[in-house]
């Protein structure tokens, strides 16, 4: 039976209410670790791709699989309250990219004196390239991937660039052991087993030691406040050298602004600022969904397996992490789903701390989803039938091809 599924969140134009990124964005995951399992990237694609290459790959996949015939673009879904308002759609899929990089978090009220500041300030969402920053003095607030990318890019032509961070961050190179992409070395089933099996103090020690292998973060003013949490690191191959060359400096939180300067928590000052760029992240919002669907308590987004709202009677709405035959899903009771959500949130708090970002143990999560559709590899059976392949699967990179 043919079903009509509404997918919210397609599009790549820098329009109001849609995601927007700067021109120089490259992936932080290598191509072999982010491809569709049955559709490898072409051999001539680089390991880490410019955004345009990623878009080209997705378009090629769409054409090869003849998917456009199933897609109706610019189909408005003004509001969804529940199954009573389903109208033509038997099911709805909400693309995760919809809520990322759409609603900028611009915490102007958290910076006393900003209203008196005579320079320019903007959110990183509005930054598109280095044009107009030649010879300028720039303060970047926020030590995430966007903030570091922008700071490094501007450091080549700006007079001075300073990054202000309140909590520090691990900074990783895309290139790891023996020149391999980081995720092909780090994301393995064996590494996941050690992380979950070893005592916390041992696992934490190994993690901090590994994060400091490239350079000692404390010497660069980048040491995270709680370095044992597995929060998303910054991927930037140039930041340490930019700091050593003096074109980028690291400072603590901004205490207050004056008309032309910023005063930091350590009492130092950055004077004659031309631009302040807030790389302070984004808020999460689902304006087309009634809050009762996905926020079941404490204003938290609660989804069973990160996909299904637990309070809906039928699984007719899902996140985009797993697109299967939604109509065939048999879900547990609401209480069972909420118990599973509580367990996952407890583990998330242990590994990642308090965070709005959607982080999880990748391999454990993928195995869990794969088991629902018969795609989880049977490692024990592989060791019995094809030991060499089993060793590659267990100790090698856990790529999408495994599923």
**How is the beta sheet containing 120-123 ordered, strand by strand?**
120-123, 275-278, 137-141, 160-164, 248-251
Give the predicted TM-score (pTM) of the model. Answer: 0.84
| Whether 234 and 301 share a structural domain | no
Rounded Cα distance, 207 and 192, in Å: 12
Is 205 inside any structural domain?
Answer: no
Is 209 inside any structural domain?
Answer: no
| Whether 79 and 121 share a structural domain | no
| Whether 220 and 320 share a structural domain | no
The residue ranges of the chain whose pLDDT is under 70 are 1-17, 78-93, 95-101, 291-300, 313-329, 351, 353-358
Q: Which of 248, 280, 312 is the last residue of a domain?
A: 280
Q: Which of 224, 250, 280 is the last residue of a domain?
A: 280
pLDDT tens-digit map of 179-222: 999 999 999 999 999 988 999 899 999 999 999 999 999 999 99
pLDDT of residue 299: 58
Is 188 inside any structural domain?
Answer: no
Q: Residue 371 maps to which CATH number?
A: 3.50.50.60
User: Total structural domains in the chain?
Assistant: 2
Is 208 inside any structural domain?
Answer: no
| Whether 138 and 270 share a structural domain | yes
| Whether 150 and 45 share a structural domain | no
pLDDT of residue 11: 41
pLDDT tens-digit map of 76-124: 776 666 554 445 556 666 765 555 667 888 899 999 999 999 999 999 9
Q: How far is CA 48 from CA 91, 101, 167, 169, in A?
A: 35, 21, 28, 22
| Whether 127 and 91 share a structural domain | no
| Whether 292 and 378 share a structural domain | yes
Is 180 inside any structural domain?
Answer: no
pLDDT of residue 291: 67
Rounded Cα distance, 246 and 269, in Å: 16
pLDDT of residue 171: 97
| Whether 165 and 267 share a structural domain | yes
Is 244 inside any structural domain?
Answer: yes
| Whether 260 and 367 share a structural domain | no
pLDDT of residue 83: 53
| Whether 133 and 258 share a structural domain | yes
pLDDT of residue 52: 93
Instruction: State the residue range of the domain holding 240.
Output: 106-173+214-280
Is 187 inside any structural domain?
Answer: no
Is 16 inside any structural domain?
Answer: yes
Rounded Cα distance, 98 and 107, in Å: 21
Q: What is the DSSP pairing of strand 295-297 with strand 282-283?
A: unpaired
pLDDT of residue 148: 97
| Whether 263 and 122 share a structural domain | yes
Q: Which of 259, 280, 301 is the last residue of a domain?
A: 280
Long-range pairs of 293-296 with CB within 8 A, sequence gap ≥ 24: 293/80, 293/81, 293/82, 293/317, 296/338
| Whether 262 and 383 share a structural domain | no
């Amino acid at each position: 039976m043919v079903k009509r599924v509404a997918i919210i969140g397609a599009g790549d134009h820098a329009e109001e209410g849609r995601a927007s990124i700067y021109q120089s964005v490259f992936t932080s995951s290598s191509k072999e670790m982010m491809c569709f399992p049955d559709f490898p990237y072409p051999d001539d694609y680089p390991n880490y791709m410019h955004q345009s290459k990623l878009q080209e790959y997705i378009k090629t996949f769409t054409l090869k699989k003849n998917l456009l015939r199933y897609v109706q673009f610019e189909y408005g879904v003004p509001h969804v309250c529940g199954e009573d308002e389903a109208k033509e759609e038997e099911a709805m899929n909400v693309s995760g990219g919809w809520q990322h990089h759409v609603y900028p978090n611009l915490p102007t009220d958290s910076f006393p004196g900003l209203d008196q500041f005579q320079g320019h300030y903007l959110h990183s969402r509005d930054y598109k390239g280095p044009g107009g920053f030649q010879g300028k003095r720039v303060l970047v607030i926020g030590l995430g991937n966007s903030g570091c990318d922008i700071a490094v890019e501007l450091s080549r032509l700006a007079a001075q660039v300073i990054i202000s961070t309140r909590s520090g961050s691990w900074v990783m190179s895309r290139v790891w052991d023996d020149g391999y992409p980081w995720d092909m070395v780090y994301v393995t089933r064996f590494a996941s087993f050690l992380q979950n099996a070893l005592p916390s103090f041992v696992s934490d020690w190994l993690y901090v030691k590994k994060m400091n292998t490239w350079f000692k973060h404390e010497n660069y003013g980048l040491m995270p406040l709680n370095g044992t949490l597995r929060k998303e690191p910054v991927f930037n191959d140039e930041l340490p050298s930019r700091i050593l060359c003096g074109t980028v400096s690291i400072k603590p939180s901004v205490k207050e602004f004056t008309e032309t300067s910023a005063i930091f928590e350590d009492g130092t000052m950055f004077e004659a600022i031309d631009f302040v760029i807030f790389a302070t992240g984004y808020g999460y919002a689902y304006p087309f969904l009634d809050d009762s669907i996905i926020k079941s308590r404490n204003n938290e987004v609660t989804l069973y397996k990160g996909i299904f709202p637990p309070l809906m009677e039928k699984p007719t709405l899902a996140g985009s992490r797993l697109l299967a035959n939604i109509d065939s899903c048999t879900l547990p009771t609401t209480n069972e789903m909420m118990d599973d959500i509580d367990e996952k949130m407890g583990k998330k708090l242990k590994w990642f701390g308090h965070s709005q970002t959607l982080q999880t143990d990748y391999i454990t999560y993928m195995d869990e989803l794969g088991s629902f559709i018969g795609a989880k590899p049977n490692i024990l059976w592989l060791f019995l039938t094809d030991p060499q392949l089993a060793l590659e699967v267990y100790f090698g990179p856990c790529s999408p091809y495994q599923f």
